[in-house]
C-alpha cells in the first residue's frame, strides 16, 4: 500500500524524534512518482526520493510584498490645476516654460505633449523651393533667396532665447514636443492621430497684432483662432475631461465671447478660476508677435476657464450639475448623460 507524501513526512519526523525507531518506510506503487513536497526553508527536511518544490519565502517574499506596497503608494504629484496622472496636451506654448514647469514638478514628462505654432528646423517647402532656385538660376539664386525665411530655428530663438534649452530638458524628461502645430488644423496632425487627453491647455491665445486690441478686426481674428481651436480640441478630449483656456478679463477681451464660441463645439463652461502665475515656476506670459515679441505681457485680470463637452458628461459629479445649469442658461439642448458604470446607457 502506497503511503502519502504528507504521511511520510510526519512518520519521518516522529522516527527522528524517538531516536530508536529508525528510518520511516516510504513506499510508492509501481512507477508512480510521488508529488512534490513544498519547502520554504523553515519546515521539515525533505524526504529522500521525493521531489521538492521550493517556494519563495523569507526575505525574497518580503521584498515582493514591499515592491507591491511601493507601487500602490506611488504618489500622484500636482502643480496648480494639473497632476502627473493626467494626459495633458499643451498648445501654443511659445517658449515651452509652462510645459517645463509641469514636467519638472511631476519628475517626468511622459504624459505631456507640448506644442507650439513656431516650426523648428528647416521648412520642407522652403527647402525644396531653395533647391529649385539653385538649379534654375545657379549663381543668381542668391538674389531670389534674399529674405526667404527657411531657417525656422532662428525665428524661434529670436522670440524666445530660452526655447532651445527648454525643449532639450522636456525631451530629457520624456515629454513629446511638436512644432508647427496650428490649433485650427491640429486634428490633421499625424503625430496626434488617435491620441486622447484628460486636459487640453491653451494659455492666452492671441492671433497676432493686425490693429488695435479693441478694434473689430483684431477681435474677429482672435475669435476665429479660438473657434478653430475648440472645434479641433474636442477631437482629442476624453469623456468628462476638460479644455482649459487662460484669458484676460476686460472690455476688449470680453468681446471674444469664449462661452459662445465654446457652445458651437458642444462645450460648456463649468468653472472659472484665477490664473496664478506663481504656481508655474519659470513661466511668464510673453507676446508671440509684433515688435515686442518675447516681451512679458500685462498680468492683471487673468483667469483660467474650464470647458467640458455637454454632449456626453459623467453622471453624478459636481461638474454635471454645473454643466446643466450653464446649458439651461444658454438655452442649449440637454445632453445625453453617460453612466460611467454602464457606458451603454
Q: How confident is the model at residue 289 (pLDDT cuts 50, 70, 90)?
A: low
**One domain, residues 43 and 155:** no
CA distances from 123 to 138, 159, 168, 186 (A): 21, 18, 20, 18
Inside any domain, residue 339: no
Going by C-alpha positions, the residue among 158, 132, 156 that lies closest to residue 145 is: 132
Give the percent of the chain with pLDDT over 90.
Answer: 45
Q: What are phi and psi of 261, to 5 degrees?
A: -65, -40
* Residue 198 lies inside a defined structural domain of this protein: yes
The answer to whether position 333 is within a domain reads no
| Confidence (pLDDT) at 12 | 41
pLDDT in tens, 9-33: 433 444 444 445 444 554 545 555 5
For residue 340, is it within any domain?
no
Minimal CA–CA distance to 253: which of 203, 187, 301?
Answer: 301
60 and 94, same domain (yes or no): no
The pLDDT tens digits for 116-170 are 998 765 444 454 455 555 555 554 444 344 444 343 445 677 788 899 999 999 9
Q: What distance in Å separates the CA atoms of residue 171 and residue 109, rounded to the nearest whole number? A: 8
DSSP 3-state assignment of 172? helix
Same domain, 49 and 191: no
Q: Mind listing the pLDDT tens digit for each residue in 175-185? A: 999 988 999 99
How far, in Å, CA of 147 to CA of 309, rounded?
45
pLDDT of residue 3 exceeding 60: no
Angle between helices 163-172 and 152-159 (to 10 degrees): 100
Domain region containing 43? 5-72
Look at residue 54 and give its three-state secondary structure.
strand
**Per-residue pLDDT for 275 more than 50?**
yes
pTM for the full predicted model: 0.65
Q: Which of 72, 90, 121 is the last residue of a domain?
A: 72
Phi, psi of 247 (to 5 degrees): -155, 150
Question: Domains in the chain: how many in total?
Answer: 2
Q: Could you tell me which residues come within 8 angstroms of residue 187 by beta carbon, excluding any fewer than 6 positions away?
A: 232, 235, 236
- For residue 277, the SS3 value is helix
Residue 160, C-beta contacts closer than 8 angstroms, at least 6 positions apart: 94, 95, 286, 294
Question: What is the torsional sign of CA 236, 242, 246, 248?
Answer: positive
- Specify the CATH number for the domain of residue 146: 3.40.50.150
Among all chains, which residue has been given the C-alpha cell 490649433? 183
- Answer yes or no: is pLDDT of 300 > 90: no
Amino acid at each position: 500500500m502506497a503511503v502519502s507524501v504528507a504521511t511520510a513526512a510526519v512518520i519521518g519526523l516522529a522516527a527522528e524524534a524517538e531516536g530508536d525507531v529508525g528510518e520511516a518506510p516510504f513506499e510508492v506503487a509501481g512507477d508512480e512518482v510521488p508529488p512534490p513536497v513544498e519547502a520554504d526553508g523553515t519546515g521539515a527536511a525533505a524526504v529522500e526520493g521525493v521531489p521538492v518544490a521550493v517556494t519563495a519565502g523569507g526575505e525574497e517574499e518580503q521584498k515582493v510584498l514591499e515592491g507591491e506596497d511601493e507601487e500602490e503608494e506611488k504618489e500622484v504629484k500636482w502643480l496648480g490645476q494639473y497632476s502627473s496622472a493626467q494626459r495633458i496636451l499643451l498648445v501654443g506654448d511659445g517658449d515651452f516654460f509652462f510645459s517645463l514647469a509641469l514636467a519638472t514638478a511631476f519628475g517626468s514628462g511622459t504624459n505631456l505633449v507640448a506644442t507650439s505654432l513656431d516650426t523648428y528646423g528647416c521648412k520642407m517647402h522652403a527647402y525644396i523651393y531653395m533647391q529649385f532656385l539653385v538649379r534654375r538660376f545657379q549663381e543668381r539664386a542668391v538674389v531670389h533667396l534674399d529674405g526667404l525665411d527657411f531657417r525656422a530655428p532662428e525665428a524661434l530663438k529670436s522670440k524666445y532665447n530660452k526655447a532651445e534649452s527648454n525643449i532639450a530638458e522636456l525631451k530629457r524628461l520624456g515629454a513629446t514636443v511638436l512644432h508647427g502645430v496650428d490649433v485650427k488644423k491640429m486634428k490633421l496632425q499625424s503625430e496626434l492621430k488617435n491620441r486622447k487627453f484628460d486636459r487640453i491647455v491653451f494659455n492666452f491665445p492671441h492671433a497676432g497684432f493686425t490693429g488695435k486690441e479693441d478694434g473689430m478686426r483684431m477681435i474677429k481674428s482672435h475669435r476665429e483662432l479660438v473657434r478653430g481651436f475648440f472645434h479641433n480640441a474636442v477631437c482629442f478630449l476624453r469623456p468628462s475631461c476638460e479644455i482649459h483656456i487662460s484669458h484676460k478679463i476686460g472690455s476688449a477681451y470680453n468681446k471674444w465671447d469664449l462661452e459662445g464660441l465654446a457652445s458651437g463645439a458642444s462645450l460648456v463652461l463649468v468653472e472659472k478660476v484665477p490664473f496664478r502665475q506663481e504656481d508655474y515656476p519659470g513661466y511668464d506670459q510673453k507676446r508671440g508677435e509684433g515688435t515686442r515679441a518675447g516681451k512679458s505681457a500685462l498680468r492683471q485680470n487673468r483667469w483660467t476657464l474650464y470647458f467640458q463637452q455637454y454632449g456626453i458628461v459623467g453622471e453624478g459629479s459636481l461638474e454635471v450639475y454645473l454643466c446643466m445649469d450653464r446649458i439651461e442658461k444658454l438655452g442649449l439642448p440637454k445632453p445625453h448623460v453617460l453612466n460611467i458604470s454602464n457606458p451603454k446607457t
